[in-house]
């Protein structure tokens, strides 16, 4: 299995956040909006990873940076809307397909921010879209 974490929001994050998470926690946040054809209008798309997102989708507190990622996801939500998904693409079945198309193919669920944060990380399902209100 190979996991990829994505967040989409209607407000752009400050690039200082990217540098801080990279420097302090070795977490890479990348604005991938330019690489998402057929995206939702006025949304900014982010990839959140290291080599992949497998470390984050783990119950191992030494690897999953739960505290830091919960703070990041809260910050994203506070800046606007938050749509979040973890893509399990271990078999490369989504390779070459637009992230937006992939997300549209997944079941979605609306959650409050508190419910979402309480489920993170391992109670969130891969290949599922979470619309956080």
What SS3 class is residue 14? coil
pLDDT tens sequence across 35-93: 988 888 889 999 998 876 777 877 777 778 888 889 999 999 988 899 999 888 877 88
E strands, the chain, where?
3-9, 28-31, 44-49, 82-88, 108-111, 129-132
pLDDT tens digits, residue range 2-30? 788 899 999 899 999 989 999 998 889 99
Q: What is the pLDDT of residue 98?
A: 86
What local confidence, expressed as pLDDT, does residue 52 receive? 67
Residue of 128 and 55 predicted with greater confidence: 128
Q: Given this model, what pLDDT does residue 131 score?
A: 95
Confidence band for 116, pLDDT divided at 50, 70 and 90: very high
Question: Taking the alpha carbons of 104, 109, 114, 115 in that order, is the dihedral positive or negative?
Answer: negative
């Amino acid at each position: 299995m190979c996991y990829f974490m994505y967040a989409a929001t209607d407000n752009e994050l400050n690039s200082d956040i990217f540098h801080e998470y990279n420097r302090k926690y070795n977490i890479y946040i990348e604005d991938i909006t330019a690489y998402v054809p057929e995206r939702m209008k006025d949304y900014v798309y982010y990839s959140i990873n290291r080599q992949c997102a497998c470390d984050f989708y783990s119950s191992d507190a030494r690897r999953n940076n739960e505290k830091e990622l919960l703070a990041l996801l809260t910050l994203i939500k506070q800046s606007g809307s938050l749509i979040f998904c973890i893509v399990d693409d271990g078999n490369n079945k989504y390779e070459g397909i637009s992230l937006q198309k992939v997300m549209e193919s997944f079941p979605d669920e609306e959650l409050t921010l508190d419910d979402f944060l309480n489920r993170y990380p391992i109670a969130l399902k891969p290949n599922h879209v979470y619309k956080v209100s």
